[in-house]
Amino acid sequence: MSAKKLCGWGEDDFGDGKIHGDMDFDPQGNTWALTYFGPVPKKEEWDTVYRGSWLIHYNCLTGKAENLGIPSRRGELALPQLRLRQNLFFGVSHSGNDIVVYDTKEHRMIYGGAPATASSGTPAAS
């Protein structure tokens, strides 16, 4: 699988350099992953060309890969986790300012953005 081809990055585009985190697979061979920058974007690239981590679905038994887009604008989501029993895929940024939650059974985003505060349940200011 080529993330460059799947995400449509051209030779002059800023494209993420790696898949970050551990890769876990369900019994059907499915995994979900987040791209991660490498090298770190320059200050001006954060504001102009870096769009955020891309969510990718991949099946290692069929070889089918699917670009699911950018689940959280500008989020550098480095800490993914697949929760098989709950049918959930999580991603958290190093800063803790962005999280994503994806329903792997229903194939839909549940949430992408700043984490909610415990007391109010509303997204925290980033």
The stretches of 2-90 forming alpha helices (DSSP H) are: 3-7, 43-48
Q: Is 85 exposed, middle or buried (0-12, 13-18, 19+ CB in 10 A)?
A: exposed
Answer whether residue 121 shows pLDDT above 60: no
Can you tell me the distance from the alpha carbon of 100 to that of 110, in angstroms, rounded to the nearest whole number?
A: 8
Can you tell me the distance from the alpha carbon of 69 to that of 19, in angstroms, rounded to the nearest whole number?
A: 14
How far, CA to CA in Å, does 102 sit from each of 29, 49, 85, 99, 115? 17, 25, 14, 10, 14
What are the tens digits of pLDDT across the range 5-61? Answer: 877 777 777 777 777 788 899 999 999 988 877 777 788 877 777 777 889 899 999
Answer whether residue 126 shows pLDDT above 50: no
User: What's the pLDDT at 109?
Assistant: 92
* Strand order through the sheet with 99-103: 77-83, 88-93, 99-103, 108-113
Domains along the chain with CATH numbers: 3-113 (2.130.10.10)
Backbone φ and ψ for 50, nearest 5 degrees, come out as -80, 120
